[in-house]
Structure 1
Amino acid sequence: MGMELTALHWIYLLFIGLTILLMFFRRDITIVCVTGVFLLAFTSTGSLAASISSIFTSFMYTISELLSIILVIAIISSMSKILMAAGINDLMISPFARAIKTPALAFWTIGIVMMIISWFFWPSPAVALMGAVLLPVALRVGLPALGAAIAMNLFGHGIALSGDFIIQAAPKLSGDAAGIAASDVIAASIPLIIIMGVVTTVTAFILLKRDMKKGKLNSVKGFASEEVMKESEESELSLPVKRIFAVIIPLLFAGNIVMMFTLNLQGGEATALIGGTSVLILIFTSIAAHKQQALEKTTKFLIEGLQFGFRVFGPVIPIAAFFYLGGGGFEQMIGSPLPEGSEGIINDLGTALAAAVPVTKTLGAFTIAAVGVITGLDGSGFSGLPLTGSIAALFGKAIGSGTASLTALGQITTIWVGGGTLIPWALIPAAAICNVDPFELARRNLVPVITGLIVTTIAALFFI
């Protein structure tokens, strides 16, 4: 089964080990990842010039992959800043502020609302909506920005995306590879997702409360900055006009949700709709608040938002480039093909691991989980699903049962790791909207998610 591992695979494995080791010691991994890209390119092409060029090409590829997320975060940031500067934000969030009184209530409310929106539209557009409406309320009642990011992340990119019950892209990909119906994957995944969701969110909440009590975490004001606070004095909006904007803006986002349903917009299309709406809100707020200066102020806020977006993504681009090399980006980045028979470096490593393990129910479950974790390392979440599905089918046939449960387990581990709870460049949407360090958010999620994965893998044994 699979192909022989080559020098490319061993170099990639070595650099994955190095990055994990350095992240454990809280060191920066940019140089290691760039070196990894260079060595992989040199091993593949044998050309010094092509290897040096591939460093730049890999950055270009990564930016093109991440650009829609960078842009929507930049635009939401610009809009949030002008709403704060104009004093509209305070009025807009006041109904929620009355309902959400404690940090605990804020954590669970953000999480559950995030999960529901993510089921229908996937997490990226949901993060944008949460950042605009519920994040300021959470900060006001004392939930640290990191706590809000954890809630968005675990409920959206974790629970909602790993089940994907409504859009059903994940179960279809997994099911097709395993030779079973998407509905079978969904049915098998429900108990496992409940176990995974409860373990991770409760563990994360307990750890968060502990650190808040010790004073390790403080509430940080999302996008607010001194500049914005100063600017609020210049706003020319009267209270009635602010009230009109405070009503219209949530209605526009509610209209977005209706349009997503009626026009069947998902993923990138849904994100684009929210991004476009946010630009229009920015322009009209600027015209109302700054009148003659509106042209200059709109550009100023847009520039601030774009600076924020690229500042957040700057450290991530070289790191993500290395991991994209292991997924589907190798040929575009390096300009030379993978070894014959390869399905991507990460997928080859996962297949080799599965082939090396003897077939029993317990080893099958833990191997599927390990393969899911490995394939999740490219930060895509979905790219490893065909592999985990096909390996689940192999183990299911060998064991004689449990193909659907094994497929569901592979889907959960792949998406929880790669879809945006442990890989720093995958969880950037939540980190950026909450204005927290994505690497710190990944470290915070590590114990709850690893605990959840172990408990869920053990639980899966009872369903196989």
Structure 2
Amino acid sequence: MFESSSTMVIRSSLITCISDYPSRGSHMHSLTLLTPAHFCYLVGVVAIVATMIFRANVVVPAILATFAVAFAYSGKVLVGLQAIFLGSLTAAHELFNIFLVIALMTALLNGLREIGADVRMVRPFRKIMVNGHVAFFILALITYLISLFFWPTPAVPLVGAILIPAAIYAGLSPLGAAVAIAIAGQGMALSSDYVIKVAPGISAKAAGTDMLPVANTALLLSLIAGAVALALSWYLTVRRNVRKPGAINLVEWESSGEIDPTAQPEAHQGSFAKAELARSTAGMHDEDVDALPAVSSAGAASMALPAMGGGVILPPKREMWSKVFSIVTPLTFLAVVIVMTQPELVGATVIRGGDAAALIGGMAAVLMMLTTLSYGRKGFLDRTAGHIIDGLVFAFKAMGAVLPIAGFFFVGDASTAGPILGIESGVHVPSLLFELVQACSQFIPHSPVLVSLGVLLTGMITGIDGSGFAGLPLTGSLSGALAPLAHMPASTLAAIGQMGAVWTGGGTLVAWSSLIAVTGFARVPVLDAVRVLFVPVVSGLVIATLVAVAIS
């Protein structure tokens, strides 16, 4: 879950608010009163989904839908116009932690690249990631193990900083790396939440059943769905784009983040300069160096000494620091992992979610300053500021268009709709998305297969807002009400609903979820990742649901 950041707040309140939902069965016999705002929101969701299907940009539909919902709710044009701005502002407030972590981790990578430590750091993984196919599954495995213990929030930057470059060097495409991380972290690990057990706890309480059966079933279903999704995504997309291992893969990937691709390489300094990319490959084999883009002689001479055989090497002192930080950086993040899993070692309380992301971001900033200082004291302050600016530019360049889209979906969530619609504190805030789903829930047929698929679909719809966990009280209570009619355990239905909500909103099927963090580190368009993930993830969820029906 890099879980939309609003989930961090939602998660803490959902457990105490479940009792506010109708008791099992009671809401099945009452219709939610739908207003014009509900129908405008529904039309907006359909319009955005349809626009995505046709592979067009959804920013304009999201802005228009935000205006329509606010106008329909308030009856005032001014409120509708203000909602366009307030929606993006609320989204920026909710998602800025993601922006900032990406910026700081990118700044760290820039600092490592200055001294050539980024390439040194990934070399050990080349022994394991022998090619792009192996790299895909190793990346997924490591992401899954890390995410199980403290959610994908800090796992994404950890994997992004250390393993994505190694996987790309091995020949895996950036899109393939993003797919592996999203399926394993935001999908498999988060949907079961087997170690921390917040998700199964919410689902079980809402369904009126014990937590352990929900957790066990969710773990099994998440593994099935993940295995299917990984296999299908590899077969349909990843295997076709695997390249021969080599440094040129890293160079092309890193250069894909340039601010202005038409400008001369020397015009840019910081993270995207071709001269820095060339310097960072110092010490590679001659055939790797020969594959690099040409660098101006002035630029190369200013930063590196010519090596025998036509390559590029660093000055001795910088070479030493390159080796030091290639070891210190992964060890530091390993220490962070240990602290987050065993916080009592440092006398701290539980460190997860937002606190974990803050710890990683702060550590990245410190490491970035140290690496920049090791490059040279002259200009240290300016270079440090430049790295941070480059990181922020990249973060907003990669994810800025997501803000108005997220703003629309935040209108449908009671926890964020108030400021957007101009509702004063203490006044009832509508939950448009939940109320729409609740109004339609009574029309689900009562056969085991149809009920299970209906609960799955309900969970997926509630996950459209990008939060993942916010829909669990509804899918849990719906499961408890339908279980006797479908002759299925409530725990099984609750786990199915949990799969749909978390896989969708946790960050695999919607572009305004934590998937933007994954694609930000992989440097690929978020909508491309959504399109590649859609068929494998949905297929995995459907197969897992059918297995759940068969064994229940």
Choose which of 140, 148, 154 in structure 2 pairs with 1:125: 154
1:446 and 2:534 matched: yes
RMSD of the alignment, in Å? 2.1
Cα distance in 2 for partners of 1:212, 1:296 equals 39
Within-5 A mapping of 1:353-368:
353-368=440-455
Q: What whole-Å deviation, never above 9, does each CA across 1:342-383 have from its counterpart, x for those lacking one?
A: 861111122122112232222211110110111010011111
Within-5 A mapping of 1:27-46:
27-46=56-75
Which residue number in structure 2 is paired with residue 246 of structure 1?
326
Q: What whole-Å deviation, never above 9, does each CA across 1:328-347 have from its counterpart, x for those lacking one?
A: 32222112389x99861111
Shift of 1:210: 4.8
Q: What whole-Å deviation, never above 9, does each CA across 1:223-270 have from its counterpart, x for those lacking one?
A: 455543313453764322211111111111111111112222111111
- Are the counterparts in 2 of residues 162 and 170 from structure 1 also a CA contact under 8 Å? yes
How many residue pairs get matched? 461
Alpha-carbon spacing, 1:405–1:343, altered in 2? closer, same or farther (3 Å): farther
1:229 and 2:274 matched: yes
Q: What whole-Å deviation, never above 9, does each CA across 1:413-443 have from its counterpart, x for those lacking one?
A: 1111111001012111110000000010001
Which residue number in structure 2 is paired with residue 345 of structure 1?
432
Which residue number in structure 1 is paired with residue 470 of structure 2?
383
Which residue number in structure 1 is paired with residue 489 of structure 2?
402
Cα distance in 1 for partners of 2:253, 2:493 equals 40
Within-5 A mapping of 1:40-79:
40-79=69-108
Alpha-carbon spacing, 1:334–1:342, altered in 2? closer, same or farther (3 Å): closer
Corresponding residue SS for 2:33: coil
Cα distance in 2 for partners of 1:297, 1:343 equals 48
Q: Structure 1: which 5+ residue stretches go unaligned?
A: none
Within-5 A mapping of 1:135-284:
135-212=164-241, 219=249, 221-224=252-255, 227-231=272-276, 232=279, 233=300, 234=303, 237-263=317-343, 264-284=350-370
Shift of 1:222: 4.4
- Are the counterparts in 2 of residues 81 and 301 from structure 1 also a CA contact under 8 Å? yes
Q: Which has the higher helix share?
A: 1
1:298 and 2:384 matched: yes
Q: What whole-Å deviation, never above 9, does each CA across 1:35-74 have from its counterpart, x for those lacking one?
A: 1111111111112222211111111110010010110001
Greater radius of gyration (CA): 2
Alpha-carbon spacing, 1:160–1:222, altered in 2? closer, same or farther (3 Å): farther
Aligned AA (2:367)? I
TM-score, normalization by structure 1: 0.95
Shift of 1:212: 2.1
Q: What whole-Å deviation, never above 9, does each CA across 1:62-108 have from its counterpart, x for those lacking one?
A: 00100101100011111112212220111111111122111011001
Which residue number in structure 2 is paired with residue 412 of structure 1?
499
Shift of 1:213: 7.0
- Are the counterparts in 1 of residues 176 and 238 from structure 2 also a CA contact under 8 Å? no
Aligned AA (2:335)? G
Aligned AA (1:266)? R
Within-5 A mapping of 1:326-345:
326-328=412-414, 329-336=416-423, 344-345=431-432
Which residue number in structure 2 is paired with residue 311 of structure 1?
397
Cα distance in 1 for partners of 2:488, 2:163 equals 45
Cα distance in 1 for partners of 2:195, 2:254 equals 32
Shift of 1:393: 0.5
Shift of 1:27: 0.8
Q: What whole-Å deviation, never above 9, does each CA across 1:177-198 have from its counterpart, x for those lacking one?
A: 1122221211222332222111
